Amino acid sequence: MKGVLICGGTGSRLRPLTDVTNKSLLPVYDKPLLLFPLQVLLDAGIKEIAIITGTEHVDQIAQFLGSGSRFDCEFTFKVQEKAGGIAQALGLAEEFSDGDSICALLGDNIFFDDLTQAITSFENGGHVFLKEVADPKRFGVVEIDGNKVTSIEEKPENPKSNLAQTGCYLFDHRCFDVIKNMKPSGRGELEITDVARWYMEQNELTCTKLTEEWIDAGTFESLFRAAQLVRERRES
């Protein structure tokens, strides 16, 4: 399995901070944000990792991460020229994946659960990580039966559950063919939810429900909350 860390997007909700640097480099207590999802990949023993970023501040990310040697891994950098969605960004990693399964993580997600077991035991199909949230309208909303996903809706007006799809995805190599045949959504983007839905339609999409905190650090409030949680865990 190979890792893909997706650090694209303009971070418009975090301006003016993101006028200065990429969202994924913003501090969360004592570390840059992207080191948290990176650690998920490293904990799972993944040594080959593609970093997908937009044109904004790509030089800062590359300068900070370097070759990967200090993390005992190897980085490959890919640039998403225009914002076209998470799935489009993932599609840039096809050549890098070289037929392997991938673990894709969003560079602004912080997981307090240990995902290692689910990642290392993955064999084929697709697998997503779900978290109960108070405001499911903001997310891809998932219904499940046991550990199988039965429906997915992106930011629905009337959510069928309170289970949000988080920013960690396990897919086998077929995801790249799915992405190549996708059409943009109403937002003009290739949605990662549609990739997951394809696996669901093949009856091959399983899930893990998270029990600890999960932060999508795309707003000032969630970034601040993430720093509080990290500090609390350092002190406990």
pTM of the entire structure? 0.93
> What does the pLDDT read at residue 13?
81
Q: Which domains does the chain have, with CATH numbers?
A: 2-235 (3.90.550.10)
Q: Which residues have a Cβ under 8 Å from the Cβ of 186 and sit 6 or more positions away?
A: none
Asked whether the beta carbons of 169 and 196 are under 8 A apart, the reply is yes
Nearest CA to 96 among 189, 32, 1? 1
- The residue written with tokens 């697998």 in the block is 127
Q: What is the mean pLDDT of residues 103-131?
A: 96
> What does the pLDDT read at residue 196?
96
Q: What is the mean pLDDT of residues 67-91?
A: 93
pLDDT category, 11, cuts 50, 70, 90? Answer: low
Q: Which range among 30-34, 161-165, 219-223, 227-231 shows the weakest confidence by mean pLDDT?
A: 219-223
> What does the pLDDT read at residue 10?
64
Q: What is the mean pLDDT of residues 120-129?
A: 97
Distance (Å, rounded) from C-alpha 87 to C-alpha 220? 25
Q: What is the mean pLDDT of residues 159-170?
A: 95
Task: State the virtual CA torsion across 211, 192, 6, 165 in degrees, nearest 10.
Answer: -10
Average pLDDT, the chain: 92
Q: What is the mean pLDDT of residues 200-214?
A: 96
Single-letter residue type at 233: R
Distance (Å, rounded) from C-alpha 185 to C-alpha 194? 9
pLDDT category, 20, cuts 50, 70, 90? Answer: confident
pLDDT category, 204, cuts 50, 70, 90? Answer: very high
Distance (Å, rounded) from C-alpha 148 to C-alpha 95? 30
pLDDT category, 167, cuts 50, 70, 90? Answer: very high
* Structure confidence by residue, pLDDT tens digits, 44-76: 999 999 999 988 778 899 999 999 999 999 999
Distance (Å, rounded) from C-alpha 78 to C-alpha 30? 27
